[in-house]
């Protein structure tokens, strides 16, 4: 049975592109879907269609909880030299509220393997120079997609889908604080 690894680069505004990427793994792993989605209903429908695959892991680029100012986990990320925007910042509030609602909706469909990530930090922490190197490291085929033709949001969703894949392979770093956790890639490209 195939496994599906989903990456979502959530936009605060449903009128803007939410990057959505899926890596499916059977005998080999392939980027099977990479596109923009917009409404919450479109995102839920796309994820729900994958439930038939068996194990479904989702990495979502957005904070899961509202906070005043920086969360403890955000401070830990900054101390690692990683730049994040905390959910307490004014312009992050609508993104966080949308993420909270989306996670709640997915949980109501018995989709519970949902992890917060930050694609730019995940790529940086991996030691890989770019997404191509990251995909090659894990032998994930691009299938019919060309990275050159994809938006930044969709490319970030691909990184997030690799994070969800690595959560299953146990090659992730969990940065944890009192108000949540952010999952990154382990240093897979350089010692």
CATH of the domain at 36: 3.30.420.10
Asked whether residue 160 is domain-assigned, the answer is: yes
CA distance 54 to 173: 24
Asked whether residue 162 is domain-assigned, the answer is: yes
Asked whether residue 9 is domain-assigned, the answer is: yes
3-state SS of the chain: helix, strand, coil percent to 5? 40, 25, 35
- What integer pLDDT is reported at residue 91 of this predicted model? 77
- What integer pLDDT is reported at residue 55 of this predicted model? 77
Tell me the mean pLDDT in the region 135-147: 93
Asked whether residue 190 is domain-assigned, the answer is: no
- What integer pLDDT is reported at residue 104 of this predicted model? 96
Residue 152: which domain range?
A: 3-185
Would you state the structure tokens that stand for residue 74, as one six-digit string?
């955000």
Exposure string for 54-64, b = 16+ CB within 10 A, e = fewer: eebbbbbbbbb
Q: pTM (2 decimals)?
A: 0.95
Asked whether residue 78 is domain-assigned, the answer is: yes
- What integer pLDDT is reported at residue 88 of this predicted model? 78
pLDDT in tens, 143-191: 899 999 999 999 999 999 999 999 999 999 999 998 889 999 999 997 5
Asked whether residue 191 is domain-assigned, the answer is: no
- What integer pLDDT is reported at residue 191 of this predicted model? 55
Would you state the structure tokens that stand for residue 132, as one six-digit string?
């191509």
- Residues 184/163, Cβ–Cβ less than 8 Å: yes
Name the region of 54 (left: φ>0; alpha: ψ -120 to 50; beta: rest).
left
Residue 103: count of CB within 10 angstroms of its CB = 19
Asked whether residue 181 is domain-assigned, the answer is: yes
Q: How many distinct structural domains can be found in the chain?
A: 1
pLDDT band at 1 (very low <50, low <70, confident <90, very high): low
Would you state the structure tokens that stand for residue 92, as one six-digit string?
């992050």
pLDDT in tens, 12-71: 999 999 999 999 998 899 999 999 999 999 999 999 988 876 779 999 999 988 888 889
CA 180 to each of CA 4, 17, 73, 134: distance values in angstroms, whole numbers, following the listed order: 24, 26, 6, 26
Asked whether residue 112 is domain-assigned, the answer is: yes
- What integer pLDDT is reported at residue 179 of this predicted model? 86
- What integer pLDDT is reported at residue 122 of this predicted model? 97
Give the up-direction half-sphere exposure of residue 146: CA atoms within 13 A in the CB hemisphere: 2
């Amino acid at each position: 049975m195939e496994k599906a690894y989903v990456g979502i680069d959530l936009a605060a505004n449903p009128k803007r592109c939410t990057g959505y990427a899926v890596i499916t793994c059977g005998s080999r792993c392939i980027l099977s879907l990479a596109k923009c989605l917009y409404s919450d209903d479109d995102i839920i429908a796309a994820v729900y269609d994958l439930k038939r695959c068996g194990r479904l892991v989702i990495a979502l680029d957005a904070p899961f909880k509202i906070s005043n100012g920086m969360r403890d986990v955000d401070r830990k990320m900054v101390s690692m030299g990683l730049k994040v925007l905390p959910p307490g910042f004014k312009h992050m509030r609508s993104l966080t509220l949308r993420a909270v609602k989306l996670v709640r909706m997915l949980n109501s469909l018995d989709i519970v393997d949902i992890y917060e990530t930050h694609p730019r930090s995940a790529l940086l922490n991996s030691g890989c120079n770019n997404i191509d190197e990251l995909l090659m490291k894990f032998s994930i085929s691009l299938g019919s997609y060309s990275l050159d033709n994809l938006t930044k949001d969709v490319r970030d969703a691909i990184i997030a889908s690799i994070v969800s894949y690595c959560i299953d392979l146990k090659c992730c770093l969990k940065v944890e604080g009192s108000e949540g956790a952010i999952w990154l890639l382990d240093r897979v490209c350089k010692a």
